[in-house]
Amino acid sequence: MLKKLKRISLLILIFCLGIVGYYTYSFAQFAMTISKPKVVASGNTSQESEVQKPPVYELPEWEGTERVNILLLGGDGRVVEDAGRSDSMMLVSIEPGTNQIHLFSILRDTYVNIPGHGKNKINAALAFGGPELSMKAVSDLVGLPVHYYYYIDLDSFIKLVDAVGGVELEVEKDMKYLDPTDKPEYQINLKKGTQLLDGNKALQYVRFRKDAMSDYTRTERQRKFLGAMAEKLQSTSTLVSLPSLLKEIAPYIQTNMSPEKMLKLAVSLHKGGTRTIHTAQLPPMELLREEKINGAAVITVNATQLQKYVTGQLQQTETKNEEQQSVQ
Number of Cβ within 10 Å of residue 24's Cβ equals: 12
Based on the fold, state whether residues 28 and 75 are members of the same structural domain.
no
Q: With 50 as the cut, is the pLDDT of residue 50 above it?
A: no
Based on the fold, state whether residues 260 and 310 are members of the same structural domain.
yes
Based on the fold, state whether residues 2 and 120 are members of the same structural domain.
no
CB 125 within 8 A of CB 137: yes
Q: What's the rounded Cα separation, in Å, for the pair 188 and 178?
A: 6
Query: Which position has the higher pLDDT, 249 or 144?
Result: 144
Number of domains observed in the structure of the chain: 2
Based on the fold, state whether residues 121 and 20 are members of the same structural domain.
no
Q: With 70 as the cut, is the pLDDT of residue 13 above it?
A: no
Based on the fold, state whether residues 7 and 75 are members of the same structural domain.
no
Task: Please check whether residue 180 lies inside any domain of the structure.
Answer: yes
Task: Please check whether residue 131 lies inside any domain of the structure.
Answer: yes
Based on the fold, state whether residues 141 and 277 are members of the same structural domain.
yes
Query: Which position has the higher pLDDT, 201 or 187?
Result: 201
As a whole number, mean pLDDT of residues 232-238 equals 65
DSSP H or E run through 233: helix 215-234
Q: With 80 as the cut, is the pLDDT of residue 322 above it?
A: no
Based on the fold, state whether residues 168 and 307 are members of the same structural domain.
yes
Task: Please check whether residue 158 lies inside any domain of the structure.
Answer: yes
* pLDDT level of residue 86 (50, 70, 90 thresholds): confident
**pLDDT tens sequence across 59-78:** 888 988 889 999 999 886 54
Residue 10 structural domain: 1-33
Query: Which position has the higher pLDDT, 238 or 107?
Result: 107
- The pLDDT value given to residue 179: 75
Q: With 60 as the cut, is the pLDDT of residue 38 above it?
A: no
Task: Please check whether residue 7 lies inside any domain of the structure.
Answer: yes
Nearest to 86 by CA among 60, 113, 105: 105
* pLDDT level of residue 287 (50, 70, 90 thresholds): very high
Task: Please check whether residue 309 lies inside any domain of the structure.
Answer: yes
